[in-house]
A = this chain, B = another copy of it.
């Protein structure tokens, strides 16, 4: 049994903590809070998904704030780590903050840590994907799970690259402007231009090291999901059926029809109707009837639920970094079953 703590209970942290609770080979020993905000409070209420979990806080300053809010707190992160019971910390703190914790605290207490894609790649010894490089994480101390967009690209591009071979990939991203709860962030009615190239292509290369990939991104006023338009040049001519087959055989990638699901809102509604927690979509959704093959050139549109797709990779990363499961397919199966992932 692996004892896990989750530092940071925001968009990703609350989902990862919940997913850990659903694993039979892990125990969620602690969540570490920063301030007594409504989201954190809800997760700890009797109806909340983290009810009963031990709450710790980042430092003395936080401790004061939580006690003033009348919440029961066990102590600070350092006090937790001094007890030596935690095997792995999943760091879900805001962008760039994870590196500070690593240097000041995780290294000091010699605890393994999993960082998120908001941190730069060199915060960890490797960037992780369950299918591509599970075994490389064995014995590592610091591992990073890349961001939602990168995870989406790794899953879909690896599916085609490993079966047919990709000569060159160009990706054009319409990014959601903010998450649904971020009511003060993002353009109301504008399209923002990201720097060219966007950071996504470089980030994909931290996992798919030899892929020839370029990316551009626009930020658009929606909160539900990212959408990617992909154009790849294959290493040989291929039929549309081969591409569909590659996606069908890839775990955590599913195919839906654009005719039936013509928008991100329709796709989100489908997963709400599956009664998934919060309507989360752990899978990358490829729109089957957008796959367009012309000789060696292949294009498609796929959707990335930014709040959820990295959750299964975080769970697999806990098994890989601790070595409790050496077979990646077994870990993937355990994770998929526990979260109700379609395939």
**A contacts, CB < 8 Å to B:** 170, 172, 174, 176, 187, 189-193, 195-197, 214, 216, 218, 220-225, 227, 229, 231, 258, 262-266, 287, 289-292, 294, 297, 299-301, 303
Contact = CB atoms under 8 A, between A and B. Distances in A.
B292 A191 contact: no
Given A191-B263, A193-B262, A196-B291, 20 more contacts: A187-B222, A189-B222, A189-B224, A190-B266, A193-B227, A193-B258, A193-B263, A195-B290, A196-B258, A196-B290, A196-B299, A197-B292, A214-B299, A216-B229, A216-B231, A216-B290, A218-B301, A220-B220, A221-B222, A231-B231
Contacts of A174: 174, 191, 218, 220
A195 B229 CA distance: 12
Contacts of A196: 258, 289-292, 299-301
Contacts of A221: 189, 220-222
A150 to B, nearest CB: 18
Contacts of A301: 193, 196, 216, 218
A220 B191 CA distance: 9
A298 B170 CA distance: 12
A57 B258 CA distance: 41
The residue in A216, A258, A291 that gathers the most chain B C-beta atoms within 10 A of its C-beta is A216
Contact of A218 (B187, B227, B299): B227
A229 B214 CA distance: 12
Contacts of A287: 193
Contact of A265 (B190, B222, B231): B190
Contact of A290 (B193, B227, B265): B193
Contacts of A192: 262-264
B223 A218 contact: no
A291 B196 CA distance: 8
Nearest to A223: B189
B229 A299 contact: no
A157 to B, nearest CB: 17
Nearest to A269: B190
Contacts of A266: 190
A264 B191 contact: yes
A190 B218 CA distance: 15
Contact of A263 (B187, B265, B297, B300): B187
Nearest to A265: B190
Contacts of A197: 292
23 contacts: A172-B216, A187-B265, A189-B221, A190-B222, A190-B224, A190-B264, A190-B266, A191-B225, A192-B262, A193-B262, A193-B263, A193-B290, A193-B301, A195-B258, A195-B290, A196-B258, A196-B292, A196-B299, A214-B231, A214-B294, A214-B297, A216-B301, A220-B221
Top 10 closest pairs, chain A to chain B, by CB: A190-B265, A172-B172, A220-B220, A196-B290, A190-B263, A192-B263, A191-B227, A191-B264, A216-B229, A172-B229
B231 A170 contact: yes
